Amino acid sequence: MGNRQYHLQVEAGEIGEYVLLPGDPGRCARIAAHLDGARQVAANREYITYTGKLDGVTVSVTSTGIGGPSTAIAVEELVRVGARTLVRIGSCGALDPGLRFGDLVVAQAAARGDGTPDHYAPPGFPAVADIDVVQALRAEAGAAGHRFRVGIVLTNDAFYAEMAPETFPMEGIIRARWDAWARAGCLAAEMETATLLTVAAVRRVRAGAVLAVIDSASGGVTGLPDPSRLPIDAAIDTAVGGLRRLIALDGAGVVRGAPVEP
């Protein structure tokens, strides 16, 4: 099989150094439409990959599936075949009451409420987004006039513990944890960002995430939003525009992490 990856079924030369990561494989074509000459290069299990060009630079789109385990597999295999910048495009439930349906959250960091990062780093190791990715996404969201916040999100494993805590034997503990995370300052909850950021740090690549608010994850909700009407377009536009900014930054030869001259 050469270096063709077992789960993604991609190999070096088929993906770019820059990769956009939706969770839902059904969103890949929608995101790839923003690239020039995009074509599907692989489809296996929950993983679909498209590759095209953005400002003349090769960019790919790969779905991660739901949750940390499948996300870690996608990141591992993408890095093995050349990915170096990874940007998640996802959705989230608001923990901060100031967030509204359709708002964006640019993840500065993620609280590790999921289990997969524990296999990569000690519990105290922070899941932090690359500063250049955060700045690029923030600048793009602001320039486009989107309502957005930058801050910490909570990554969790159990979707229905968020949606219907009253159906769980540990309801009291679940509600207390949500309240604690919210009071500590987590803006929103989702299922992949902490894994993405931790694996990226361990594998020495840069990563970040922009998330669309689609519901409230605090205290449970009475129903889920219509999946055909999720407000994802602003997150897609912000991620694609953010990558443009990163491509320009990289093309200018800016050294990341270099001190600012006085």
CB atoms within 10 A of CB 37: 8
Q: With beta carbons less than 8 A apart as the criterion, state whether 107 and 210 touch.
A: yes
| Per-residue pLDDT at 223 | 65
Provide, for the chain, the percentages of residues in helix, strand and coil under a 3-state DSSP scheme, each rounded to the nearest 5.
35, 30, 35
160-193 pLDDT, tens digit each: 988 889 999 999 999 999 999 999 999 999 999 9
- pLDDT-derived band of residue 1, with 50, 70 and 90 as boundaries? very low
- On the question of pLDDT at 228 being above 90, the answer is no
Specify which residues 107 forms β-bridges with: 151
C-alpha 73/C-alpha 56 separation (Å) is: 28
Residue 192 in tokens: 């992949």
Residue 255 per-residue DSSP state: P
| Per-residue pLDDT at 2 | 57
Task: Tell me the average pLDDT across 54-60.
Answer: 98
Residue 9 in tokens: 């079924």
CA distances from residue 77 to 15, 74, 122 in whole angstroms, order as listed: 11, 5, 22
- On the question of pLDDT at 257 being above 80, the answer is no
Q: Is 4 exposed, middle or buried (0-12, 13-18, 19+ CB in 10 A)?
A: middle
- Please name the CATH architecture into which domain 18-251 falls: 3-Layer(aba) Sandwich (3.40)
Task: Tell me the average pLDDT across 203-231.
Answer: 82
C-alpha 137/C-alpha 11 separation (Å) is: 28
CB atoms within 10 A of CB 1: 7
Question: Angle at Cα 7 formed by Cα 3 and Cα 9, nearest 5°?
Answer: 50
| Per-residue pLDDT at 218 | 55
- On the question of pLDDT at 221 being above 80, the answer is no
91-139 pLDDT, tens digit each: 999 999 999 999 999 999 999 999 999 999 999 999 999 999 999 999 9
| pTM tops 0.85 | yes
- On the question of pLDDT at 42 being above 60, the answer is yes
| Per-residue pLDDT at 176 | 95
